[in-house]
Structure formats: structure tokens, C-alpha cells
Amino acid sequence: MKNILKISLVAFTTVLLVNCNRSTAGKSRLTGLSFNDPKNGNYIRANSFEGQKPPLGMVEIEGGSFTMGQVQDDVMFDWNTTPKKIHVRSFFMDEAEVTNSEYFLYVQYIKDVFPPSEEQYKHIYNSVLPDTLVWRKSLGNTDILAENYFRHPAYADYPVVGVSWIQANEYCKWRTNAVNLRTLIEKGHIENIFEKDSVRNFFDTDVFLVDDSKLFDGDTTIYKRGVRTRNIRKKGEPRPGKDDFQGRKITKADGILQQKFRLPTEAEWEFAAKANIENREYNNIRGRKKYAWDGKYTRAKSKRFKGDQLANFKQGRGEYSGLSGWSSDGSDIPIRIKSYPPNAFGLYDMSGNVAEWVADVYRPIIDNEANDFNYFRGNLFTKKMINQNGEVVIVGGQAGNIVYDTLPNGNIIPEQLPGSIKYIPITKDDATFRTNFSKAENANIGDGDLNSSRFYEDNQDEFASRPSMYNSPKKPTRVRDSLTGRDIISTDDKSRTTLISDKTRVYKGGAWSDREYWLDPAQRRYLPEYMATNYIGFRCVTDKLGPMTYKKRKSRTPSR
């Protein structure tokens, strides 16, 4: 009887609290005005935010402070990995590299939406294809890999290679749109456009938020319903039909749409690879990790797998895998993802398999005195382009409206995909009286060159707009020969002192073709953003919103 009374009391109290919360949850705490109420202005407030779930294929990386930089001796003598203390915010990261099958999905999608058979789209499809010829060697029988590695099902779960930094960046943008499109379809906000043949299934998240009538060739019948609100129908108005749009338009404030996918910054990648959480003792780190796993050796110590290599890498000249019948690391080229144990964060192949692109522009020194909070070099601050009618400009579908860029290696890429919002760099007027930034392009800010000093004047810089300290060769120009009709490539014939430029990007992690030294997550190398190799792949990240962690704090002292 006593138990029944206790249960009844708890149930009554719970119902009472729920009713109280319902009566106040929809009101402003400071003004009393109702949210999401047409009778009170229909001011938006989303439901309570309980935290983000990791997106498909990702794991949560709880941020914090760590020492970024070298653990081993500086055998390169380039002071490229000098240790520095940096704080990294929490984020989500792909548990493994993007595979051939996942990237092939992207390639097929682009081909469907922008058919290369149509004149205005003829360069778009080719711009996303991996460079399969990265497998060729002048003195090697490797054409079988050039012909099969990307498309053959035997390599479907292998990390994609032959992808430039530019292509990896574009994949991240597409993934954002693909995930948001799937979310809107599953939640019933729009029809399954893949079942409709009458419209192109290109979807852009930014366009959807700004003006969704610009999507799907203007076919607004695709939208089934928005966010439901109370008392939408006014007195005397007919009930909405089954196919009529109901509710209000979805906004970013509703928290429905996925945050943008992107390449990780160098600091994020190294923080995730080191996974110092397994070396933590209370609020301190015991030692510093040489690899993505704990310990100072590349072989497993556990009884079951003792002696097995923990990563796919080159162990010596001609030692890509080991003896027949007793492979020492599992593969002579990249191997399928998740073939080796994950690190403490649950991330696979952060040491070995393939190196990975990160977002940063390369500079020899990372200056944590300039910024020790979520460090990143390469910001380009932009804004939406507005036309003379005050409307956001959408990149058009006509050939004249698609702007293409020819890269130094001859590849032709669109500056922006048709159907997306056109973004332009901010101007000085946009940064007037600001103390946190002063210009659009920030790749070379504070890097020690003449252009970053207070003594800089335009007439003192030998290479005009180019930073004098990093005077890499200028981009080749192409001129059409009036007689032959062929393009003549004019290269930079001036004496240059470095290959480092604002278009040079960092890549991290050792690869199948690297020696053990490069497995250290602190090591860093660089390559022009338009180049691709057979040993560099990538993985995506996305930002975590709200607190660093939603886990409840535990008592630091044992209970008595």
C-alpha cells in the first residue's frame, strides 16, 4: 500500500511539473511574449536543444588544450613542428577516410545534375573526377591500379586518392547539401525529388534558407510542409488542401539542418590523431604521444595480436608489405578502411594508410602568440552578392553565367556550381572600425613577411601583390595562338626562392608509401592545392554546437 501511494505521488508530481513547463516553455523568460504564436507575432524559438548526435560515419571529438608540435627529434632541421600550446573546440570527425565508393556516389550525382553532354556543364563533371593517373610510374608496372583503383568493387572501401585539396573541399560542400536534402525528405518537408524526372535534383542549403523558390527550377509544389505552428488558419479561411504548403518556412533557428561539413584544420586533425584522453591523469597529460596509439612502437603489444603492425606504412626500401605468407603490415598500397585498430577517440588510420588534406594554408611556423584558440590559417571572409534590385545573386545555368578557372596543371573548374549563391570577398568598408579582422584574405597575415609588417608599402614589394617572403612561381597564363588556334602556356621565368604560396595547403599523417617517421601526427608537409597524389586522401569534420560536452560532470571526490 505504501509503495502504491509513493508511485501515485511521483506520477502526480511529474504530471504537474510537465504541465507547468508546457505553460511557460513557449514564452519569453524576460518579456512573457509567446513564441511560435501567430497571435503574438509568430516570433521563432526552436524546441529545447538536447545536443547534437554525431552525423553518419562520424565520432565526437571533445575539445580541449594540447601541445601541438613535435615529439621526436627535428631530423629535418626546419623548425617546422616547434611545440606550442593551443586550445581546440569540440567537433565531429569522420571515423575513417572518405572511400572510393563514397566519392563515386558524389561523381555520379554531379554527372546526373550537370550532364557533361550539355555545353554549359561540360567542364563540371571532369572537375570532380579523381586523377587516376597518379598511379603511373615511369619505371613501374602499375597501370592496373590506374585503371581499377577508383571504380572496381575490389577497392570500393579503400580510401580515395588522386583528389586535390580543391576537390576535397568541394566534396565537403556537396555532402552538406546531400545530408540536408535527405533530412528534409525524411522529415516530410519536401517531396522525394529523386522520384521526379521533371526537375533537376540539385539542392543548395544556403539557397533553401534564403529563397527556396530558386531551387528545383522554381517548382514550389515540391514543398509539402514547413515547421508546424499553432492557429495558422484565420477565421473564415478555407482549410488547406492536402498538397498545400502548411506551416512556416524552415530557418536556421529551427536547428533542423546539418552544420556545414568541411576539411579539418591542422590543429583539429592533430588533436584528434593524438587522442591524449588516454594519457590524461586528472587535469594533466602523462607524457606526449609519438603515434595515434599509445606507446613508442609500431607493433601491437596485446597477447592476441602481439607483433602485428598497427598501421600501413613502408618499413624500408622495398618493404611495402613483407614476406609472402606473413605480411608485416597488411597491404602494399592503401588498404580498406578500419583494417587496423582505432585510436582512443575511435578514429581509424590517423597514422598510416593515406596522408590527409587539412584546411590550412602552409607556413613554416604556427604562431600561437597570434592566436592560441582554434588556430587556423587561410580564412577568406566573404558575403553574399546582392544585385541592383537588392536580391541575392544565384549562379546561373547559362554558359555565360558560369565562371570557370584554369588551374596551373590545365584542369578547368567552375568557381561556383550553378544554382548556388554567389559569394564575394568582403571590402574594407565591411571591416570599418572592426578590431577582430580587417580584410577578406588572411592567408598571409602575421606570417613574418614584409607585407605583414607596419613598414610595408606597395612600392617596396618586388612582386607587387605577392608576399615577398613567399615568392613562389606565379600561376602560368594561357594565350590562344591566333595562327594555330592552340593554347600557349607562358610560365614564370623570374628567379624564385620557395614553392610556398597562399595556394599551398598542409597535409598530415603518414601514408602507405612513407617511412615510420611520418606516422607522427605532429609532422606536416605541403603541396599546391590543385595537385593530387596516390598517397593523399581526406576525411571531413563538422562543428559541434553548444557546450564542449553534454556529459554530466562526475564527483571528483569519492562518496562516503
What digits encode the pLDDT tens for the residues 114-164? Answer: 999 988 888 999 999 999 999 999 999 999 999 999 999 999 999 999 999
* Cα–Cα distance for residue pair 375/363, rounded to 1 Å: 13
Question: What are the start-end ranges of the H helices in 49-186?
Answer: 100-113, 124-128, 143-148, 165-186
pLDDT, tens digit, 9 for 90 and up, residues 19-42: 444 434 478 889 888 887 777 777
Q: Could you tell me the CA-to-CA distances from 48 to 4, 24, 62, 255, 265 in Å, in that order? A: 33, 13, 22, 10, 30
Cβ atoms 193, 222 nearer than 8 A: yes
Q: pLDDT of 129-142, one tens digit each?
A: 999 999 999 999 99
Distance CA 51, CA 390 (A): 36
Cα 282 to Cα 23, 41, 553, distances in angstroms: 43, 50, 13
Kind of pairing, strands 355-361 and 536-537?
parallel
- Judged by DSSP in three states, 11 sits in helix
525 Rama class: left (phi>0) / alpha (psi -120 to 50) / beta: beta
Please give the pLDDT value at position 555.
57
What is the DSSP secondary structure assignment for residue 401, as one 8-state letter? G
Q: What is the reported pTM?
A: 0.87
Please tell me the predicted confidence (pLDDT) of residue 450.
60
Residue 317 and residue 359 in contact, taking contact as beta carbons nearer than 8 Å:
no
What pLDDT score does 311 carry? 92
165-186 vs 100-113: helix crossing angle, rounded to 10: 80
The Cα 137–Cα 154 span in angstroms is: 22
Q: Which residue stretches of the chain have pLDDT < 50?
A: 16-25, 198, 399, 454, 456, 458-464, 466-467
Vertex 127 angle, CA 125 and 128, to 5°: 75
pLDDT at 536: 98
